[in-house]
Structure 1
């Protein structure tokens, strides 16, 4: 009997980032909406065909988005706040205004809040719901794309963000939790039921509801919400016009605590992640069982890593599942949105490296292989060339251990993780030594990376210009921004990071143990794509990485210049990690390498050093009981290891962005940094309540404007935000800065915004001094 295969979702940016380029051309006015739509349609067609040619049975549709699926779902449900509707823009421009803000002839509005999608580096737009919102079906996108694929002869499985996950991630206008009253539940359920009936009319066989929020901790209220929503939706799958099968798809963990509830709700299929939640999901199925009419969609091919599947281990799991149910579908563990498109684009990687890698297209092949091997049975498998080749790959030793790195780790002592003297003792010493005013101003680190900068870096990498020419160019750029910052009156300057292509890749290129790809792009948010480096072996630093340009910048001004580093947890979280050793060990290796850099910066006369941990919150386990023992108990000490050796007079900064900070605010304080800056403008400064409640000791710079939006905030707007901050924080502990680095903004957007920020800080400073 053949085994059915399913894909949760597929990348959408294209092999050459075609979607990114088409959207950005449209934003710049270099193309029209028809050209944008044509590119999107061509990409959808190409990706459906790729999956069909790979033999995938349940191919997703409606997993495509110009920006984000949560945003698309909000539009589908009619959750478009009046401030965006009042702009009077077309469908695409309204979507982009919600995602990026809008400032033009039609009005001036900020963007929706943006947060990390569970434990990934993908960002979603936070839907906004208030009492004036009328929830109703307001988009034909899911139906249009299903019919688009159908016209190509491809019968797809429409994918929707499930109503439970959607409501759990939706917030009120001020970032507050919404109330899941009967009226809201009924209205949302009615829309989803209508969608189901419409898909029946269109001839769909399956609809997939993505419910990743089910892998989080849940209380009785959550279970009641889940049941309430689907009690209205599930009956819609049968009508006088036909029927449809409904799949509830979970990922990023296990649902052992609610599997029994879900299995009795009557879904035709339950999708479970057997990569990140394997043991718990398998155990609960063994305990509770599987309803005879329900299929288990087993996520056995990872949607989160880039390493080839171990067929022997996967087949053991599949055999165990087949003993429990004959209704088994093989699937990716999560959407392939989170991995690059194809290894075939990586011609510069050595064959022995490529042999270990599987990106989205290769994972389709792995699904097909596992389905074939499953239906062949144990006796045939033993002699199958597919399995033999895979077993050979996994039996080979890939990594050689670096003895020096291992010895250094073994010598670490508890006192290596503790900085002396205490922060409360350091703060007055630093105030006196650094001589900064109240409400000091700074930026996060990077300045706009213009076409000229990218062009010169490319010319240097190809050998068109030599190192002297390139270094002269970088020095000129640093001179320019040092002068501009002095003119604007910024208190703590940065060198602009013009020599850096990416805040992780730049460091990886100078550390031992990393490999790099050419085209392994992954979507982070909107049109922002990243190309994470690959951790291949033990990590160490062979020479200083940032000292030259930080010291040069400091030599060009009498003002303080921050040294800028990326922290070990963020480098680890934003790389493709090894799977043969623990995350803790890899992060400790990184921490020792960055520690060396910190001490060299200090020795070079840099008195403020920022160690960015933008991704600290990102990999926090989804279940509270796992937070410390599986993550924070080693992630926080790793950061402390980086800076514990500096003098009391050296001020250590860190930076974090786009995450929920409130629930780990005490752990952030325990990082023992002297100053932290973080994203706050899109979350309406809600983190300030946690800072006030926990008596946060670290000085802090909640971002006063959103750098992920092209709009330029006014001085009065920023003044108001600073005053809001001062209601919850002492002015002696507040720094004034943007949300994040300015690399992705244009100079026409960045410099006026900074000018307004500095002017606002000076105005409020005069009020409180």
Structure 2
């Protein structure tokens, strides 16, 4: 008889009503002191643990909570502090911790990038000549807290040493092993102190195992985990993987650990196939990631129970952990506050708290038999079937269009070179044109006005008048600053994806479905629950009005199909690429409408293009082919004189540069200020033959860049990129910044562009 235990991998930090975000921002703005901040944060953290205990979770994670980012927490625990933050020794202060993440007037923030293929961002560790040391045993601190305050013997969560180093920067490949040898003894100390304190299990996350590794990497895993395990006598190690299946399944499950966590949701059947082919060690615990930790749909409990029974039958293991496929960090907290969604949809949803309930039900069903959860099994099946049979998921027009995609061209009329000549004549822009990425500061007044309108306190006319007033100011400000290409500011938009989710058919938006993106920045992904279709123009009114205020070109601003897909919670009953094509056809109608109304520059942003890449490189080509096709499907029907722009966020671009070029956008801007030199090296090696703007300053930091700093960054890029095709812009939208920060930074940017133009004119003369 298999013993079945319920387990969780991680819980959302933000709180049901984003209490975490508000507490952080109060502290940053000086509205509360450090003592109050830490007290409020502790209450929230303990509340999260209590909720999991109340749901009947046997193994509750501790140490997964963070003040900003769990990778940054690991860096700070081991004293990996970049020199520019002037850290010397001892515990790392809150000021230093947040400065690494956000920057300050003395030092730029550390680079931020996507956590594997999710929309969560982590702070990239900088290991330049690192001499790591333990500044504080963080997991021990939180293990003690849970035990003393709530009587919970928690499961400490630690980011594994190999994944941590693989995600870091600032060292050469040949230095990896030397660095690892410095960290492993520190991990041993952390684990031994946990063992001494009475911890029974520790969860060591090694998601890097779900990527494309080499045989030598697996040998390193064997060596490292032999050292960790041999240093312990009672503490059990759960080696946790997630996000995809394992290429080296046999080697991983036979590592010297007491348990292995596998993802049975996003593995495309690979892990189950490996179990059936190779079995699973009888002396180990299998932690089955059976509930989707990255999406919000209710589980079919009957199907999940059958899968778990199949796993047990195939392995004959003594102990099984039932758990999510990954940390629940990636989903909202609870469905109970969603009172405005239609009942068919809301019954088919499952957020973090509901997923914990599903885990408890599955554990009960396996332990006591299906009859113990028969009512819940029926309820889940009924809710899912009702949504599948709804009109929203059976739109004949949309389905016909997808079946007949050959009727929609995905090619522009002319080549880029031919188009660009026409566009230069059309716009008459100077060398190195300056622009912004799209959004301008969303002041408290803007957010207050939007709330008043949404709550019915303002009429449509009042809100439209307010938005026009904001655009009046924005256009006047851009004129004053001296930009060459303007934006309307996006004051009417709450979020670059949620806004379109509110306008397109097949979408709905939650009231409180927030998830963490980076730091205190939370987003509310829309829910793609039905067939996506165009209803009416979404951006035309604002774009046309803004253009009427100036002779300078004003860009129409849209979010691209792949980003809308990747930043939404997507229906799971049809392939994701089919949903992307539905979105693309809807956006195509919007692009054509903008052009017909005189908007001749249209930016279709794809900041999430790369983050959707599968973790296995052998799956990249198929993904990129479909993603590029979706973008071109949405943008290719315009005239040659209409200039298509796009924007992308932090990424390693060298391995997808061909796909970026294949988008055939006339101008691409890349969010690259924190890793500018690395991006430029990519273009040194591979080149780029279309319009491009590399972000010349980091908008995620409140600091205002110096003119010389922007000049240096731009001149470095111009050594490898054609000045005739180069644009000067910030590295992302300015929505989250304060107005004085934006004005100062943009004035510095425009001044830098003028100086570079003058230098170019002198050199030509």
| TM-score scaled by length of structure 2 | 0.96
Cα distance, 1:386–1:441 mapped onto 2, change above 3 Å: same
* Contact residue 408 and residue 633 of structure 2 kept, 8 A: no
**1:466, 1:44 → 2: CA distance?**
40
Residue correspondence of structure 1 range 125-524 to structure 2 within 5 A = 125-131=123-129, 133-151=130-148, 152-172=150-170, 178-238=173-233, 243-255=234-246, 257-277=247-267, 279-323=269-313, 324=315, 325-377=317-369, 380=371, 384-396=374-386, 397-400=388-391, 401-413=394-406, 416-524=409-517
Give the alignment partner of residue 99 of structure 2, picking from 97, 100, 103. 97
**1:732, 1:225 → 2: CA distance?**
48
**1:389, 1:610 → 2: CA distance?**
45
**1:612, 1:414 → 2: CA distance?**
25
User: 1:358-403: per-residue Cα shift (whole Å, max 9, x none)?
Assistant: 100001100010011112346x47x822223223334434432112
| Secondary structure at 1:627 match in 2 | helix
Structure 1 equivalent of residue 65 of structure 2? 64
Structure 1 equivalent of residue 17 of structure 2? 16
* Contact residue 437 and residue 733 of structure 2 kept, 8 A: yes
| Secondary structure at 2:20 match in 1 | helix
User: 1:192-236: per-residue Cα shift (whole Å, max 9, x none)?
Assistant: 000110001111001110011110001133223323322322212
**1:318, 1:49 → 2: CA distance?**
27
**1:403, 1:278 → 2: CA distance?**
29
Matched positions, count: 753
**2:740, 2:236 → 1: CA distance?**
52
1:722 aligns with 2:720: no
| Secondary structure at 2:727 match in 1 | coil
Aligned-residue Cα RMSD (Å) equals 1.6
**1:761, 1:526 → 2: CA distance?**
31
**2:559, 2:178 → 1: CA distance?**
47
Structure 1 unaligned residues grouped into runs of 5+? none
**1:411, 1:320 → 2: CA distance?**
40
Cα distance, 1:628–1:557 mapped onto 2, change above 3 Å: same
* Contact residue 18 and residue 39 of structure 1 kept, 8 A: no
Residue correspondence of structure 1 range 624-703 to structure 2 within 5 A = 624-629=617-622, 631-703=623-695
| Secondary structure at 2:554 match in 1 | strand
**1:334, 1:167 → 2: CA distance?**
20
Structure 2 equivalent of residue 112 of structure 1? 110
User: 1:269-327: per-residue Cα shift (whole Å, max 9, x none)?
Assistant: 00000000151111212222222211110000110110111112211211121121232
Task: Please state how far the C-alpha of 1:463 moved relative to its aligned partner.
Answer: 2.2
Task: Please state how far the C-alpha of 1:538 moved relative to its aligned partner.
Answer: 1.2
Structure 2 equivalent of residue 26 of structure 1? 27
**1:626, 1:459 → 2: CA distance?**
46
| TM-score scaled by length of structure 1 | 0.96
After TM superposition, the structure 1 stretch with the greater mean CA deviation from structure 2, 580-589 or 493-502, is 580-589
**2:329, 2:66 → 1: CA distance?**
11
Cα distance, 1:539–1:395 mapped onto 2, change above 3 Å: closer
Residue correspondence of structure 1 range 548-587 to structure 2 within 5 A = 548-587=541-580
1:741 aligns with 2:743: no
* Contact residue 298 and residue 384 of structure 2 kept, 8 A: no
Task: Please state how far the C-alpha of 1:86 moved relative to its aligned partner.
Answer: 4.6
* Contact residue 348 and residue 380 of structure 2 kept, 8 A: no
Residue correspondence of structure 1 range 41-52 to structure 2 within 5 A = 41-52=42-53
Structure 2 unaligned residues grouped into runs of 5+? none
Cα distance, 1:687–1:78 mapped onto 2, change above 3 Å: same
User: 1:434-455: per-residue Cα shift (whole Å, max 9, x none)?
Assistant: 1111111000000000001111
Task: Please state how far the C-alpha of 1:46 moved relative to its aligned partner.
Answer: 0.5
Task: Please state how far the C-alpha of 1:700 moved relative to its aligned partner.
Answer: 0.7
* Contact residue 162 and residue 180 of structure 2 kept, 8 A: no
